[in-house]
Chains A and B, each alone.
Chain A
Amino acid sequence: MTAVGEDPVKPRPGAVRGLFRSAGAALAALVGLIVSGCAADAELDTFVPQGPIAEELHSRAVVPVFAIAGVVFVGITVAMVWLIWRHRVKSHSDGDWPRQTHGHVPLEIGWTVGFLLTMAAVAVIMLVALPTVDGTEANAVAVDVDGREVMWEPTVVVVGNQWWWEFRYYLSDQVDLAALREIGDAQALPPADIVTSGQMVIPTGEEIELVVTARDVIHSFWIPALNGKRDAVPNRFSPWKIEASDPGVYFGQCTEFCGLSHSRMRMQVVALDPVDFQAWVDRTIQDAAVPADAAARRGMDTFAGICTSCHLVEGVNDETYAANGADQASGAAPNLTHFMSRTTFAGGFLNTYNPDGSLNRAELEAWLRNPDGMKANYTVPGEQFRGMPDLDLSEQQIDDLVAYLATLGRPPAGWVIEATEVLE
């Protein structure tokens, strides 16, 4: 886990705070130590919560139930080992028989009740913890949209696709869960102010409501450091929420098997302080400009001719794109309007930038040249694509496209580029 608090670039060692809150948490502590000890920088570690929701979930649900299970485990195991040690014999001799006890009803009722009480305690844990993950208490956030201040009910619509995540922000015309359920079709979502993919950007210290859905198959959205997971079921709209305490980058991985490249369907949440978040909104809400550079212009033409059947760059191919979006099984591909403002591409699987902040030209070109070589896709000609097809581009076209993509959007801050690096 990499968080950016006091020291914006250094990874913070995995904390195991809260583990000893419960005196009986010996086993949980042991597991926690193994987990964090073996993986000081494990980006997906569930035992290192980084926001109030995940922390409550951890301390109110995970730790107590691990403690109870640990105590029962130790009790039964000790009893069993003692029984084995105490009563084992090498062989059975004919005359050596123990007392033939057939049972003891009060005793058995006793441990039935004992288990009932134990599970009642677990039930209380569950009932106390359930509101932690369910139900929202988000506060409106003031966001400046094109010079106009709106009170944004902080909602991000999370849409799973094979094999990438889309994040939609409705700032000026806000939609809520009920409105989306009324629409009921994830392929017919209303136009959003900001559409990005792979990386969700949120303000710190705010509870963010998520509306999770999918366009093709079931996926599952999971940022372990911020909350548990929620399945993205096609055309169902499920509420979820996350909150990050500190600026930083929080990693995730699709957790419901979704086909060929399930393991290469990644996502990140970038939490920015309110000022940086406003700056991100300002940058990202604009349409793409026509580039000045000649190669980039050629690239734009190539884009509008070939890529338009799946990808959208707002302000460039809105009309042709809308006419063509059906080559993909999901009916959609990542919106590239602010390609450079996010630091991953190919479903959050590849890095847009090198660690030194320069464009990761090698992988971008390789991706355009032969997407299958970088990530498994299903692109049988004549069938709907799932993933990026091999477009048979010439080297010239690839160079032009890279030049054009490099003009789309502005890079984020240096610490974000560094902290968001994907382990490939």
Chain B
Amino acid sequence: MTVTADAPLELEAPPQPRYAERPLGVLTRPQGGRGWRDWLSTVDHKRIGIMYGTAAMFFFLVGGVEALLLRLQLAAPDGSVLGADVYNQVYTMHGVTMVFLFIMPLAAAFANYFIPLQIGARDVAFPRLNALSFWIWLSGAIFLNTAWIVGGGGADCGWFCYTPNSGVAFSPSHGVDFYAIGLQILGLASLISAINLIVTCLNMRAPGMTLMRMPVLTWMLLITQFLLLFALPVITVALFLLMFARLFGAPFFDPAAGADPLLWQHLFWIFGHPEVYIIILPAFGVVSEVIPTFSRKPLFGYEFMIFSGIAIGFMGWGVWAHHMFVSGIGPISVAAFSLSTMFIAVPTGVKILNWLATMWGGRLRFTVAMKFAVATVAMFTIGGLSGVTHSVAPADTQQTDTYYIVAHFHYVIFGGGVIGLFAGLYFWWPKVWGYMLDERLGNWNFWLMLIGFNLTFGPMHILGLQGMSRRIDTYAAGYGFELWNMVATVGAFLIALSMLVFMVNVWKSRRTAASRPAPGPDPWDARSLEWSIPSPVPEHNFDEVPVVRGRDEWWHRKYGIDDDGQVVRVATVEEAAQRGDAVGVHLPSPSFWPLAMAVGLPLIGYGLIFNLWLAVIGALIVIASLYSWAFEPVDDPDADHGHGHDEGHDGGGESGDGPGPDDAVGEVETAETDEPAAVGASEGQS
């Protein structure tokens, strides 16, 4: 199954009959409900978001255990916890897991859950495709990790898997095959998701929600989806070449046959550098929501924030070869990419100062979410500045492939990305689950993570400048590496402890949720539309689709500004919020076919590696699911949604998947309820 082969399947759907056909008669159409089976067939963007988030946190633990093994091995000279071979597999899988199985799906969780809520939509444009994205992602994640069991070990080539070291001759186990095929499956999931979310953002905004009124989180996620859209096909090409080289002997990367090993590096990093922004921009979006809320000020320079995000998105395409300054690409290329790398720092710096300006003169209330958000800015600043130091190509010749780089990208990805997403977890937790996370345990979580993080990765700057190469499995005493490696290992265990505290916090907060006051729709006095509806969010999101009059629409429904420029309350949360008790809201019907189809893909993967008959079975499953999917109407006419779904339209879904009914729902509701009851002082466009 290829990306290109798969994506157009939306179009293969012939016009659908009015009544459900069950061409295979295998599965009865699932009905909505709340048991565990319903999670398998759900097309609700919120449930899919929750599943993304949960699975991502699970793989965070997997990647974290891998990290702890690495740190144990390197804690002291001549480490013997892991052998060289296992060490190489563990560090490779640590990187792959953290990037593709943790941060990206956690960002996808936020995107799935909050894009529709922030733009005032009832779901995404293609709910079943959304489910398909998740299940494909999960099947790819599981596939990748089964390499440990059936592949003779994980990939052992580093997360960027440079050729020819990743060729069969130099990596004879199946680990790299799992890498090449697994990342294609994951990429397919992200591609489908990107298309879906782009269409959602562009087409499904509530009335009045112009692009320049969209919340910054949605904006940054939208930019992320565009980066995914254009970056994924490039790595798909690279992975196909690698797969053809390994499985069929194509000489794409065989220097003896005249191939150029740098081709892989170019293709990988054309994907790989935008990937950095794919990881960091969602966190920027989270921070841009959290800081204004807890500063009691609107985001400073919304337009600058948006356009700097877009600028980062564009410039991110012109800097890839800074990963290759020492590859021997020639001084002209080095100078050009060195310059472009420097200037991508400008929009990033602008963002940092705008966040500080948002805090300036504000009322900074340091909840755990705010602490994480401010820490994100501080840690990312360090990561960004160490990035500036090796944008200078000559200086980079001393720094690249040392622990200085390891420190740099962890400050960016962990310090910026992960800590930023943790801000989001604490901020939106009550919205998703209907109870708050405990602030006291949250503080422990925060401080342990911040201190642990800095103890782990701060010393790596020094180690790198002392000349410690990355990816070495042992080092001898006497290079001066001993102290800082031990400190880093201690720090890593502090991070692990902070994760333990996080899990205890979730467990305890959930257990005591009933005995504490409910958070209500808007516990933080926040600004965007998702806070105008109950927590947890009802299945249909909005009772009535809101009409948007400006940025920070929800805030403006609560507050106005009087003639003296003072903020005055015009409505309480209770008055302004929706009740979530609407009936008659039509929702897309659940379906098993996304799950069924996703099961087929890893079978194709195993088949390519082990036995082509398996691939045939996998392909048959995919085709059968596709066929059944195509003939399954978007809305099940037999279904009882418990909402009395016949509100003036029959949801026949004549035009294939999704768009008709969902879109229609939003629009119909809008027409009915065009004038919401409470509209705050219409400060509107700031």
Contact = CB atoms under 8 A, between A and B. Distances in A.
Interface of A: 31, 34-35, 38-47, 57-58, 60-62, 65-66, 68-69, 72-73, 76-77, 79-80, 83-84, 87-92, 94, 96-105, 107-108, 111-112, 115-116, 118-119, 122-123, 125-127, 129-130, 132-135, 162, 185-187, 212, 216-218, 220, 222, 224, 227-231, 233-236, 238-239, 253-263, 329, 376, 380, 383-384, 386, 422-424
Given A69-B386, A84-B364, A384-B169, A100 B85 contact: no
B297 A253 contact: no
B402 A255 contact: yes
B474 to A, nearest CB: 6
Given A135-B331, A217-B164, A261-B84, A98 B354 contact: no
A386 B364 CA distance: 60
Given A83-B364, A130-B393, A376-B83, A329 B327 contact: no
A322 B484 CA distance: 48
Nearest to A42: B480
B334 interface: yes
Given A43-B479, A83-B359, 15 more contacts: A38-B462, A41-B478, A42-B480, A44-B479, A62-B398, A73-B381, A88-B365, A218-B164, A229-B400, A231-B327, A233-B262, A257-B158, A257-B470, A257-B471, A262-B471
Given A61-B395, A98-B296, A386 B170 contact: yes
Contacts of B479: 39, 42-44, 423
B389 A66 contact: yes
B461 interface: yes
A147 B378 CA distance: 66
Contacts of B302: 102-103
A80 B401 contact: no
B525 interface: yes
Contacts of B343: 116, 119
A224 B463 CA distance: 13
Interface stretch (B25-33, B59-67, B182-190, B344-352): B344-352
Contacts, number: 318
Nearest to A237: B328
Most buried by A among B164, B334, B382: B164
B466 A80 contact: no
Contact of B165 (A58, A257, A422): A257
B399 interface: yes
B475 interface: yes
A46 B561 CA distance: 58
Nearest to A240: B328
Contact of B298 (A79, A87, A100, A127): A100
Interface of B: 83-85, 88, 156-158, 162, 164-165, 169-172, 255-256, 260-262, 295-298, 300-304, 326-328, 331, 334-335, 338-339, 342-343, 345-346, 349-350, 352-354, 356-357, 359-366, 374, 377-378, 381-382, 385-386, 388-389, 391-402, 461-462, 464-481, 483-484, 525, 559, 561, 565-567, 569, 686
A108 B350 contact: yes
B395 A129 contact: yes
A34 B459 CA distance: 10
Contact of B359 (A87, A97, A129): A87
27 contacts: A35-B466, A41-B478, A44-B466, A44-B467, A44-B479, A46-B465, A76-B356, A87-B364, A92-B363, A100-B298, A116-B343, A119-B345, A123-B342, A135-B331, A216-B164, A220-B326, A224-B467, A231-B326, A236-B261, A253-B469, A255-B400, A255-B469, A258-B165, A261-B84, A329-B170, A384-B169, A386-B170
A329 B169 contact: yes
Nearest to A92: B365
Most buried by B among A31, A103, A380: A103
B19 to A, nearest CB: 54
A322 B631 CA distance: 67
A130 B339 CA distance: 12
A89 B477 contact: no
Nearest to A94: B569
Contact of B354 (A61, A108, A238): A108
Contacts of B393: 126, 130
A376 B334 CA distance: 35
Contacts of B296: 92, 96-98
B382 A108 contact: no
A31 B346 contact: no
B398 to A, nearest CB: 5
Across the A-B interface, give the 7 residue pairs with the lowest CB-CB distance, nearest first.
Answer: A228-B397, A39-B480, A44-B467, A238-B328, A263-B472, A97-B567, A103-B301
A78 to B, nearest CB: 11
Given A98-B363, A228-B394, A260-B88, A80 B389 contact: no
B360 A87 contact: yes
A377 to B, nearest CB: 10
B466 A125 contact: no
Contact of B399 (A46, A91, A230, A383): A46
A112 B346 CA distance: 7
B278 to A, nearest CB: 23
Contacts of A186: 255
Contacts of A62: 389, 392, 395, 398
Contacts of A217: 162, 164-165, 170
A104 B353 CA distance: 12
A79 B354 CA distance: 12
A126 B339 contact: yes
A350 to B, nearest CB: 12
A115 B384 CA distance: 13
Contacts of B362: 87, 98
Contact of A41 (B401, B461, B480, B569): B480
A108 B304 contact: yes
Contact of A99 (B260, B476, B478, B565): B565
Contacts of B165: 217-218, 257-259
Nearest to B472: A263
